[in-house]
Structure 1
Amino acid sequence: MSGSTDTTPRTGTGSDLTVVVPAYNEEHRLRPTLDAICAHLRADPERWGDWELIVVDDGSTDGTAEVAAQAAADEPRVQVLTSEENRGKGHALRLGVLASYGRRVLVTDADLATPIEELDALDDLLHDDEDEDEDEEDCDYEYEYEATAAVIGSRALPDSRVEVRQRPVREWLGRLGNRLIRLVAVRGIHDTQCGFKLFDGDKARAAFAASRLDGWGIDVEILRHFRRAGWPVAEVPVRWSHQSGSKVRPADYGRVLLELLRLRTRLRPADLAVGVLFLLSSVLLYKGLWADLDRAYLADSMQDQNQWEWFFGVTADNVAHLRNPLFTTYQGHPDGVNLMANTVMLGLSVPLTPVTLLLGPTVTWALVLTLGLTATAVAWYWLFVRRVTRVRPAAAVGAALAAFAPPMMSHGTAHPNFLVLFMIPVIIDRALRLCEPGAGGRRLVRDGVLLGLFATYQIFLGEEPLLLAAMGMLIFALAYALARPDVARATWRPLLRGLGVALAVCLPLVAFPLYWQFFGPQSYHSVLHGDNAGNSPLSFLEFSGRALLGDEERADTLAMNRTEQNAFYGWPLTALTFGIVVWLGRSALVKAVTGTVLVAALLSLGQKIRIPFTDVVLPGPWRALAHQPLFESVIESRVAMICAPALGVLIALAAA
């Protein structure tokens, strides 16, 4: 029959096996291939049961469609799907797999370079694993067994038989391309581009439904999907013969790499539009600074703008003269200043040294604020699209709240270390990868190493924001464990192992800078700010002083100063959040995020909680942390900043 381009996956179990054959201009080779497949399946009806063969004509310009139609007329179990235009092998495979009903799905190329008889070896492996899995269900003890979900007919295993080889140069280029693909995308699989694969039907339909690539790269995309889902993939050696007229060229391996790069970046026009919107918003916020870089001064920064420009200038001078960037005698001579013990943001001030030397520290200050805020918003957007919702407008709204929330804007006048947080979403994502199914082995080590490197860099951007982020992640993890104890039991071991790897990478890299910070010249161990630095409960309902509906005098009475309005989310957002929690409260994610918001808000009230409109003062939970190492230097009202991305998640979920 003739099909359309419907991409809705089938969920029925109408057949035991589906064979999918993509075809583009295969007029001469297609009929022998279809006849061979049908003959093999007819020969053992007890083994193959009820089967179907789906041919997908990918917009051929020759007689491929007519050949397929004739085969369908001769054998009712042959179906033909047609695409109006040539979209690529990936698109054709997606159409065929999503139209399938088979309990198992075989995909094979139209040239049948791997003979159909090799299906038996692939099926034996899937069949044996499935039987073993069923046997375990009958046992009287608990045992987890994950059956093989896909089997690749591999040309690259030692026992594989290559009966007709390609030309030596072509074969060498193919091997080189395959190694690059394995290095970039799928480690541990020898033959990523094999066209002969047998899948568990339901898992195949789920993977192809989630796929995006239309070209040759779909083979790797599907294997990556299986790996990330924790579905085991096996390889078996097969016979293979190079077929004259093959459409696979050595250059196609380069195209696969380009497709995979596009897949990894996942950049869409909507993503670019969101990034531009965030940039324009940041420029608008700091337009007064950019309009007069010689004299403009942020109104609420007090003396902080002077301090930061000095930080950028002295760091650039140290780098230019190859001096220790952790120390300077340009203040407090001859004792000097311990720069590591101050918020100099070496992670940006050092790389931006050329800008500071050429254009001056004020330009660096403006760039850090504007581009840093933009990068932070884009990073939250990337995380929300990846982890919260695929609905990009919803993710953009949530990311905007996470990056442009009132507390962030308060610090945006004076404290770029609390505004420039683009590494925090990256760190969160890498930590979540350690909790994904299949996290282990090389992947766990890789993710742990990257997490350690990311944390190291964040230390040179801001240690206190990293500490607050770690607190937020810990609170979320505990809350999610209460909501989903089954997930917690499955993930805590790989998570702890990955965190151990991260610490093993991070600690040696930061050992000397931290030693200098806490034990070097002019070092100190804590910042005294009293026991009344917590938020008032009213501050969560109040607008910040610079908000459209804000009142500066009223806001000033509820905060240490205008750069520390850390909890001014306003009553409309608070009411909206309450409504979202009631509406979506059955979701484990919503429960965990809500718990994170409540605990962070409570901690931010400080050591003493003053009940509004009364003289009642209660002890706050921060009292238990106030005098602990590291926490003794934290201004507790800043803990409320953890609420910003958490509220962003709730807004994104509701908008989606």
Structure 2
Amino acid sequence: MSVDLSVVVPAYNEEGRLRPTLDAICAHLRAEPGRWGDWELIVVDDGSTDATAQIAKEAAADEPRIQLVSGDGNRGKGSALRLGVLASYGRRVLITDADLATPIEELDRLDKQLAAEDSAAAIGSRAHPDSRIEVHQRPMREWMGRMGNRLIRAVAVPGIHDTQCGFKLLDGDKARAAFADSRLDGWGIDVEILRFFRRAGWPVTEVPVRWSHQAGSKVRPLDYGRVLLELLRLRARAVRRVDLAVVGLFVLASVLLYKNLLADLDRGYLADSGQDQNQWEWFFAVTADNVAHLRNPLFTTLQGFPDGVNLMANTVMFGLSVPLAPVTLLFGPTVTWALVLTLGLAATASAWYWLIARRLVTNRWAAALGAASAAFAPPMISHGNAHPNFLVLFMIPVIIDRALRLCEGRNVVRDGVLLGLFAAYQVSLGEEPLLLASVGMLLFALSYALVRRDVAQAARRPLLRGLAVAAAVCLPLIAFPLGWQFFGPQSYKSVLHGDNAGNSPLAFLEFAGRSLAGSDEVADPLALNRTEQNAFYGWPLVALAVAIVVRLWRLALVKALAFTGLAAAFLSLGPKFRIPYTDIVLTGPWRGLAHQPLFESVIESRVALICAPVLGVLIALAADRLVVSRDRVSQVVGLAAVAAALLPVLPTPYPVRERSQVPEFITQGMYRSYLGEGESVVTVPLPNPGSAEALHWQSATGLGFRVAGGYFNGPWGPDHIGIYGATPRHTSNLLSEVRNSGRVPTIGPNWQAQARFDLAAWKAGLVVLEPQYNDAALYATVEKLLGRPGKRVGGVWVWDVHDPKDSVRTDS
């Protein structure tokens, strides 16, 4: 059946308006028979309870090209349109409401635009600047409709200004494909169809039209809210069961890894976290406290007193610590710490899964395997001991996807704005991961551009425009926080990490301490510490990656991934590196970056983290091809090789030790009677990166006192070089040395004077010594420094700095 134009009119209880509408449509189409050719007019009765169906039958008796399609009861506009469009045969399909709020004569505009623009759809747009609104709705109704339309545009179809106009001319075959795929029965059908066209890459053009509000219209302002609900339900139904299963498995894997910590949050402490768990719990606690009391969240004097801590210059993760402040206040910072680690790791894996499944492979389980390889890679597990800012990376795949959308050039402004917002949020989660991700994306872009210059040429202009938009959005949002970080109180220029912070080439071939085939005895000599095992992918996985690259070398994507992974691994070796088993030391490429702004604070071995998603994508590509291979032998051998490479690097649960209890002197608030206004507690030794229990005392008891010293990043010296901890003083150095050696030094008047000077600088109110390693030597040292014995109070030794006689009530 050959039909040039189909007109579809949905109708529900339209007996008062339907016949004039049908007569007007027929008259217009008959007026120029040569232009419109063979046409049909389909009336869809959506279960009307009046004479709508009878009127349509009478019109069909007068005009054979009119036909009536009846629905199964009143199911909504979406159901009616679906029935009508799927019953049509036209080369083009016009959809119009029964009230003809847009006159049928406006079909001429849509028809000309559709032909001129070679579009798949031309929609009558009341929001077009050249449209003419002849009869307006009531002002409040019009305003509510406009706000609802903006919400729908933001959620579903950005870039289209009038999503709900019922006057549309569509390519017939494409319209039938879109409506066959549609699921909504209500007003949301218009948005669902537009989304289908946009996702299919079919151009949609908005055309100015005349429009008049019709009395008795069935569209109400609240219907925009119903459209939003329908779209949300549609998205929920679009989620595949396999997607939910994969995310559930990621959550289960994270819980199993942290099961020892989750089993006893009151006393459990990650054994390999050093003092970082104390530090992070303190970060969460102080941020929640600042939020609750409406204080500046970027600064505090609770540690490092009296100078304080520039929190923006530390990895406080405001993007999570602020929204999770209610959790911290209600359940304590340890709960927040455990939630961030567990759910953050699962969220990162889920984000990589979303990106890989969306852009790279068709098999969902292949995408899941690749995502798991990226998120649960040995370096990630190492940082999972103590560095949630390097574990919670769910925004990185989202940023990568948005950058790829910019390259497509479909909606540069929208994608640029979103990229800017995403980047600003990632800054609030971690700046160094964003910097490393940017390095990885730049390496990939350069290598892909060399392989596919045609693609690079087409993507160059929209990408640069989008990045300019992103910068215009991002920079104002982060300007003040970054200004505070780099120029505010207690800011610093760079962080001293010491020499040999790069990876050994051997580290890429060995197994991490928390890998199934690894051991701490092998891994420890090749890493800074157990939280910085930034390579350790293992020789089987490296060999598998080489085999995949060789097998899939014809793909430009694989070539770019190979270059990115090799370049990142090479950069991570540091400014210089030694060839294994020789005394030959070579200069590494990191030397050119080591003293550049931003890069000067990066631990270079962390650049190897870029290799994790590279390996994950390679594994996903290989698995995706293996599962559909018709060569059963190759399929079995290939999958077995993947399993053999991944099995040795499977992570094992994090070990936990029992943390020391907070002394009764702190938990019972006994310290309060010793502290005057603006005074601090001096613990022995002072809290530092090697011993920061005092931070746990604070965070576990409501942050009721300040401490001198601390574990944070702060400035040191006239050049404000960044160091870990507060600026050291002679007395703090002395106490740390005694703690480490167990030897009591000779204390004379000079040391005693220095101690008085340092205590005054710290504005100390009391000195506290808890039971610990070498506490006898520490007690003797403090007794000599202060010239009097301490008093045993609440399970600790106490020296009252105000009262030389130290007349306080002691333990019985």
TM range (shorter): 0.7 to 0.9
Instruction: Select the residue among 592, 604, 622 that pairs with 1:636.
Output: 604
1:122 aligned onto 2:81: no
CA separation in 2, counterparts of 1:237 and 1:553?
76
The question of 1:478 aligning with 2:446 is answered yes
Shift of 1:430: 3.7
Q: How does 1:236-635 map to 2 (within 5 A)?
A: 236-238=208-210, 242=214, 248=219, 251-262=222-233, 268=239, 270=241, 271-318=243-290, 324-388=296-360, 392-440=364-412, 444=413, 447-530=415-498, 532-578=500-546, 580-581=548-549, 586-612=554-580, 617-635=585-603
Match of 1:215 in 2: 186
For 2:798, the equivalent position in structure 1 comes to none
TM-superposition CA deviations, 1:203-231 (whole Å, max 9, x none)? 65676577554432231233355567483
Change in 2 beyond 3 A, CA 1:311/1:254: closer
CA contact under 8 A between 2:123 and 2:204: conserved in structure 1? no
Separation (CA, whole Å) in 2 of partners of 1:72 and 1:395: 54
Distance 1:381 1:295 in 2: 34
Q: Is the CA contact (8 Å cut-off) linking 2:159 and 2:411 kept in structure 1? A: no
What is the CA–CA distance in structure 2 between the aligned matches of 1:38 and 1:312, rounded to whole Å? 70
2:644 corresponds in structure 1 to: none
Aligned-partner Cα distance in 2 for 1:34–1:393: 53
The alpha carbon displacement at 1:639 in A equals 1.3
1:509/1:36 CA distance change after superposition, 3 Å: closer
Contact 1:22 1:89 in 2 (8 A): no
Q: Contact 1:226–1:232 (CA<8 Å) still a contact in 2?
A: yes
* 559-568 or 591-600, larger mean C-alpha shift: 591-600
SS at match of 1:474: helix
For the residues of structure 1 that align with 2:311 and 2:590, how far apart are their CA atoms? Answer: 29
C-alpha distance 102-653 of structure 1, shift in aligned 2 (>3 A): farther
Q: For residue 113 of structure 2, what is the amino acid of its counterpart?
A: L
Structure 1 distance, partners of 2:286, 2:278, is: 12
Structure 2 vs 1, CA of residues 320 and 105 (structure 1 numbering), >3 Å: closer, same or farther?
Answer: closer
* Aligned-partner Cα distance in 1 for 2:55–2:415: 50
Alpha-carbon displacement from aligned partner over 1:20-55 (angstroms, at most 9, x marks no partner): 637577898999988986786676554345667778
- What is the rounded CA distance, in whole Å, between the counterparts of 2:269 and 2:25 in structure 1? 76
Deviation string 1:137-166 (CA, Å, 9 cap, x unpaired) is xxxxxxxxxx44432234667887889x89
Shift of 1:292: 1.5
Deviation at 1:595, TM superposition (A): 3.7
**CA drift at 1:330:** 4.3
CA distances 1:269-300 after superposition (whole Å, capped 9, x unpaired): 63444444333322222121121122211122
Partner AA of 1:427 in structure 2: I
Question: 1:17 aligned to 2:4?
Answer: yes
Provide, for residues 478-502 of structure 1, a one-character-per-residue CA deviation record: whole Å limited to 9, x for no partner: 2343344344334333433333343
Partner-residue secondary structure (3-state), 2:124? strand
Give the residue type in structure 2 aligned to 1:123: D
Aligned with 2:429: secondary structure? coil
Q: Name 1:144's counterpart in structure 2.
A: none
Q: 2:123 aligns with which of 131, 152, 156?
A: 152
CA shift for structure 1 position 73:
12
Identify if the C-alpha distance between structure 1 residues 643 and 206 changes in structure 2 by more than 3 Å, giving closer, same or farther. Answer: farther
1:502-524 deviations in Å (ceiling 9; x for gaps) = 33444344444434433445443
Residues 97 and 388 (structure 1), Cα distance of their counterparts in 2 relative to 1, 3 Å cut: farther
Give the secondary-structure state (helix, strand or coil) at the position aligned to 1:153.
Answer: strand
Secondary structure of the structure 2 residue equivalent to 1:564: coil
Higher mean C-alpha deviation, range 505-514 or range 315-324:
315-324
Equivalent in the alignment of 1:182: 150
Q: Tell me how many residue pairs correspond in the alignment.
A: 618
Q: Would you say the 8 A contact 2:109–2:207 is kept in 1?
A: no
Query: Aligned in 2, Cα 1:423/1:158: closer, same or farther, shift over 3 Å?
Result: closer
- Aligned 8 A contact 1:625 1:631 in 2: yes
Deviates more, 1:116-125 or 1:16-25: 16-25
Question: Hey, what's the Cα distance between the residues in 2 that align with 1:525 and 1:230?
Answer: 51
What residue in structure 2 maps to residue 9 of structure 1? none
Measured on the aligned residues, the alpha-carbon RMSD in Å equals: 4.5
Q: C-alpha offsets along residues 250-278 of structure 1, whole Å, 9 cap, x if unaligned?
A: 54333212223445677636344444433
Q: Summarize the Cα distance change of 1:175–1:323 in structure 2 as closer, same or farther, 3 Å threshold.
A: closer
The DSSP-based 3-state class of the residue aligned with 1:297 is: strand
Q: Which runs of 5+ in 2 are unaligned?
A: 625-812
1:107 aligns with 2:95: yes
Q: Equivalent pairs: percent with the same residue?
A: 74
**Aligned residues of 1:26 and 1:110 also touching (Cα < 8 A):** no
Q: Secondary structure at the match of 1:255?
A: helix
Please give the secondary structure, in 2, of the residue aligned with 1:644.
helix
Q: If the length of structure 1 is used for normalisation, what is the TM-score?
A: 0.77
Which runs of 5 or more structure 1 residues have no equivalent in the other structure? 1-13, 131-146
Deviation track 1:567-605 (CA, whole Å, cap 9, x = no partner) reads 233345445545554565555544444443333233223
Contact 2:301/2:307 (8 A) holds in 1? yes
Rate the CA distance shift 1:495–1:293 in 2: closer, same or farther, 3 A.
same
User: What does residue 165 of structure 2 align with?
Assistant: 194
Query: In the TM superposition, what whole-angstrom CA distance separates every residue of 1:321-377 from its partner, at most 9, and x where no partner exists?
Result: 665544444444444444333323333334444444444332232222123223333
Return closer, same or farther for 1:430/1:48 CA change in 2, 3 Å cut-off: same
Question: 1:404/1:20 Cα in 2 relative to 1: closer, same or farther (>3 Å)?
Answer: farther
Alpha-carbon distance, 1:464 to partner: 0.9
Compared CA separation, residues 192 and 654, structure 1 to 2 (3 A): same
Answer with 1 or 2: which has the greater Rg.
Answer: 2
1:408 aligned partner, one-letter code: M
Deviation at 1:388, TM superposition (A): 4.2
Separation in structure 2 between the aligned mates of residue 39 and residue 335 of structure 1, nearest angstrom: 84
* Residues 319 and 350 in structure 1, CA contact (< 8 A), matched pair in contact too: yes
